[in-house]
Amino acid sequence: MTKILVVYHSQTGNTQKMAAAVAEGVQCIEETQVILRKAQDATLEDLLSADGLAIGTPENFGYMSGMIKDFFDRTFYPAQDKVFRKPYVVFINAGNDGTGALNAVERIALGYKFKKVYDPLIAKGNPTEDILEKCRELGATLAVGCQLGIY
């Protein structure tokens, strides 16, 4: 069974909607399990047991959310050398252009030695049905790639 961790933070509900759609995409792939966690509830065990990781954050002051940063802070050292090349994707709900949040996540992902496997998805404001469909595609693509060993 392929496991995908979807870890996110949301204050307005927009990133939560995107996370739910990513999780739906994962679930539509047979023999996959999604672990959908708010960042404050996500654990080291969630990260270590997952075959792939989807990270969702709002853009806060041109940066990732503090709770996503907290998740990284809590798991970085214990996960070192245990998550080498773990496939990951990023989805962002932005107020501006999302690049500051994306750069921050990608910089930390380099430290973990995660492997980016899909272009980031950046949406502004309340996610449209088109954006939610792209989130589903993101989740399904990550799940299938992990399941088939492509990533």
For residues 51 and 44, what is the distance between their CA atoms, to the nearest angstrom?
A: 13
Specify the 3-state DSSP secondary structure of 53. strand
What single-letter amino acid sits at 62?
G
Per the listing, tokens 């404050």 go with 40
- Residue at 99: amino acid letter: T
- The pLDDT profile of the chain, 151 residues, written as one tens digit per residue, is 999 999 999 999 999 999 999 999 999 999 999 999 999 999 999 999 999 999 999 999 999 999 999 999 999 999 999 999 999 999 999 989 999 999 999 999 999 999 999 999 999 999 999 999 999 999 999 999 999 999 9
Do residues 11 and 58 touch, judged by C-beta distance below 8 A?
Answer: yes
Domains in the chain, please, with CATH?
2-148 (3.40.50.360)
Helix axes 99-112, 66-79, angle to 10 degrees: 10
Residue type present at position 23: A
What is the per-residue pLDDT for 29? Answer: 97
Q: Name the residue type at position 127.
A: P
